[in-house]
Amino acid sequence: MKRTENIEEYIRRGKPTVTTGESMDKRIVDDSFAVMDERLAVAKRSSAGAILSRKTMRLAAAAAVTIIVAALLLTLGRHTPNHPARPPQLAARSPATMVSMMSLRIAYQRGGWEALDSQFRTTLGQLGPGPSSLSMRQLLEGSNGS
């Protein structure tokens, strides 16, 4: 009998070596492969589903973007081309400054010929009809009070 002092070593050395049989190997390998195939098929199906769902998501996102862009274009298109032009603003308040070169130039820059014409009309309206003998200086002096 072995020494009992070192029972651990004794047990360690007594480890049995068991060999598997051919039929056991075949059974285990075949069953494992079958399970593995099944599992891989399921994984493929689920990954295909995931891709499909991603494609659906992509399509949905693309559709949403298209709708938003179309809505924006329609909204902008409704306002931009048919929007009535603002009435040209007068570049000055008093008739004297209205007919100054700077005021006329500003009016032209802001609204073109229409604004210039409007500014002239306003000036004439404020000044009103006067005798033709009056000079421009006299007219302006009377209007501005200077």
Partner 1 sequence: MIDDKILVWRFNRGSKDALCRIYEKYKDDLLGLAVTLLQDRSIAEDVVHDVFVSFASATGTFRLSGSLRGYLSTCVANCARDRNRLRAGRNVGLDSAEAKNSDCTGPLESAAGREESGRMDDLLARLPYEQREVIVLHLHHEMRFRRIAETLGVSINTAQSRYRYGLDKLRSIVNGMVTE
Among 22, 26, 33, 146, binds partner 1 (CB under 8 A): 33
Q: Rounded to the nearest whole angstrom, what is the least distance from the CB of residue 43 to partner 1 in the complex?
A: 5
CB burial of residue 77 (10 Å; 0-12, 13-18, 19+): exposed
Q: What is the distance between the alpha carbons of residues 75 and 83, in angstroms, rounded to a whole number?
A: 12
Comparison of 38 and 141: residue with beta carbon closer to partner 1 = 38
Q: Rounded to the nearest whole angstrom, what is the least distance from the CB of residue 81 to partner 1 in the complex?
A: 59
Q: What is the distance between the alpha carbons of residues 110 and 119, in angstroms, rounded to a whole number?
A: 11
Q: Does 51 bind partner 1 (CB under 8 A)?
A: no
Scanning the structure block, which residue is given the tokens 């909204």?
75
Among 22, 26, 36, 51, binds partner 1 (CB under 8 A): 36
Decide if 121 contacts 72 (C-beta within 8 A). no
CB burial of residue 103 (10 Å; 0-12, 13-18, 19+): buried
- Interacting stretch for partner 1, rule CB under 8 A, among 22-30, 55-63, 96-104, 108-116? 22-30
Contact residues for partner 1, defined by CB under 8 A: 1-2, 4, 7-8, 10-21, 24-25, 27-29, 31-33, 35-36, 38-40, 43
